[in-house]
């Protein structure tokens, strides 16, 4: 096998036609069939780029000029967009974003799963593609001029300062601006990851029903400087805040919250509603950050489940029980399984909070528990799966197929791992009938899917 010559050289400028976007929103093009990634370029464009990274199988270019612009190119509304890593595709119209995401789902379903494109339905876009996030978690850093809050620059841990985020609900932006002003007035230092010096490490805020807000101040130190003043000034300047916590995260790594947390003032939980149910949300709780689109996703999942009131349903990755409890409203019985014990405790509380008594929850590995349930005589009519980005373990897929439900409803935050799992399930007797993309996170490259798989002999 002859070694291929790399047709591009470091620091040289090349004219490159762009055909697609990568998973981080970077343009994908070629020079003599050699792949070049160009951040900032869009499909359909012809650009000039200087090579800044050259490897054996690909190169990365810095965008120099756009020779032929895409009609879908737009000017980003956010002034920090080109430095901040919070969003990736705000230079693309929303219609263009939806087209890219739908095409991505079709691509992985054909390339990885071996399915035909017609299984993929048109993507369901968001009615409000801005100011949709009800949860904010921002790193705090210290620079020469004082503390700053923002998002990390893409591919780094350098904080890009912002005074507001266009994808956050405005209540969270008010918290952001308050914290920066408070820390500046009282000379409280942000955290430096390299020296491990400084006080405030992250600020987290969550918006619940009626615009009520929970604030969590995360410090690297055991003591929160000016604790009484934090509470006093938040009450005075942010009347929408109803709950304040102090969390200590002294360890290394990317985890935002540490194990030590203290309730400083107000309510201990927020109430957040979703699909006609109410959930108590604590600092550690999982809750969907885009409520409107989560309801779109759940409505489609319920439609695929096809419940009439007499079914038994297993929710194999139930988390804090949001999908389980939606299913329980229309099923005879729901069994939720989740390996994270704290999530199961939240699920049980949420069931009680909503007066739902036909849902039971188990802290266990679904791949191990489902065969045990089968041996005990459980025969679910429907199995719902909503795994993490890595997808389902093969043990869970095999256990689900062995229980022979008529339908499997698979909710995925990673179309590539779903395509892989759908191919495995096809070999286990389940045909993928429909794949519905849902845009849960506008302005980013993330796309979710909810899919219906049916047992082939039914």
Annotated domain spans of the chain: 13-68, 110-125+290-455, 135-274
pLDDT one-digit tens code per residue, 119-161:
999 999 999 999 999 999 999 999 998 999 999 988 788 999 9
- This prediction's pTM: 0.94
Percent of the chain predicted with pLDDT > 70: 99
According to CATH, what is the number of the domain 110-125+290-455?
A: 3.40.50.150
CB 318 within 8 A of CB 361: yes
CATH of domain 13-68: 2.40.50.140
Instruction: Judge whether 84 counts as a catalytic residue.
Output: no
For the chain, what is the mean pLDDT? 96
List 87, 165, 326, 413, catalytic entry: 413
Q: What residues form DSSP beta bridges with 13?
A: 50
Q: Does the pLDDT of residue 254 top 90, yes or no?
A: no
As its CATH architecture, domain 135-274 has: Beta Barrel (2.40)
155-210 pLDDT, tens digit per residue, is 788 999 999 999 999 999 999 999 999 999 999 999 998 889 999 999 999 999 99
CATH topology identical between 13-68 and 110-125+290-455 = no
Please determine, for residue 2, whether its predicted confidence score (pLDDT) is greater than 50.
Answer: no
Nearest one of 243, 247, 237, 290 to 271, comparing CA atoms: 243
**DSSP letter at 143?**
E
> How far apart, in whole angstroms, are the C-alpha atoms of residue 344 and residue 366?
13
Helix (H, G, I), strand (E, B) or coil at 446: coil
């Amino acid at each position: 096998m002859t070694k291929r010559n790399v047709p591009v050289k470091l620091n040289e400028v090349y004219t490159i036609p762009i055909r697609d976007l990568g998973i981080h929103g970077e343009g994908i093009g070629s020079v003599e069939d050699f792949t070049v990634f160009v951040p900032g370029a869009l499909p359909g464009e012809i650009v000039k780029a200087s090579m800044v990274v050259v490897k054996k199988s690909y190169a990365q270019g810095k965008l120099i000029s756009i020779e032929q612009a895409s009609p879908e190119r737009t000017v980003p509304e956010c002034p920090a967009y080109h430095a901040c890593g919070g969003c990736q595709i705000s230079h693309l119209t929303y219609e263009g974003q939806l087209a890219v995401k739908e095409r991505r789902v079709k691509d992985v379903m054909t390339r990885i799963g071996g399915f035909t494109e017609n299984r993929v339905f048109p993507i369901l876009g968001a009615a409000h593609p801005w100011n949709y996030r009800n949860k904010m978690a921002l790193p705090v850093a210290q620079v020469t001029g004082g503390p700053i809050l923002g998002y990390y620059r893409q591919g780094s841990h350098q904080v890009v300062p912002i005074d507001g985020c266009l994808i956050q609900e405005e209540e969270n932006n008010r918290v952001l601006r308050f914290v920066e002003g408070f820390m500046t007035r009282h000379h409280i230092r942000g955290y430096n990851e390299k020296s491990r010096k400084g006080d405030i490490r992250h600020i987290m805020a969550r918006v619940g029903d009626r615009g009520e807000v929970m604030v969590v101040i995360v410090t690297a130190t055991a003591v929160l400087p000016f604790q009484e003043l934090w509470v006093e000034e938040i009450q005075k300047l942010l009347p929408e805040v109803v709950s304040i916590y102090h969390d200590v995260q002294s360890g290394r790594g990317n985890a935002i919250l540490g194990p030590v947390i203290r309730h400083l003032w107000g309510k201990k939980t927020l109430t957040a509603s979703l699909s006609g149910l109410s959930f108590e949300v604590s600092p550690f709780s999982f809750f969907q950050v885009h409520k409107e689109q989560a309801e779109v996703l759940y409505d489609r999942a319920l439609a695929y489940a096809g419940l009439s009131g007499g079914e038994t349903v297993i929710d194999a990755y139930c988390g804090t029980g949001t999908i389980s409890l939606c299913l329980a409203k229309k099923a005879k019985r729901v069994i939720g399984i989740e390996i994270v014990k704290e999530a199961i405790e939240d699920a049980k509380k949420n069931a009680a909070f909503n007066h739902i008594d036909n849902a039971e929850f188990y802290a266990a590995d679904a791949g191990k528990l489902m065969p045990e349930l089968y041996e005990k005589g459980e025969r679910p009519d429907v199995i719902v799966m909503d795994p993490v980005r890595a997808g389902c373990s093969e043990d869970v897929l095999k256990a689900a197929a062995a229980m022979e439900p008529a339908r499997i409803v698979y909710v995925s935050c990673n179309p590539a791992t779903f395509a892989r799992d759908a191919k495995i399930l096809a070999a286990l007797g389940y045909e993928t009938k429909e794949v519905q993309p849902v845009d849960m996170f506008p302005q980013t490259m993330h796309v979710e899917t909810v899919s219906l798989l049916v047992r082939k002999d039914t």
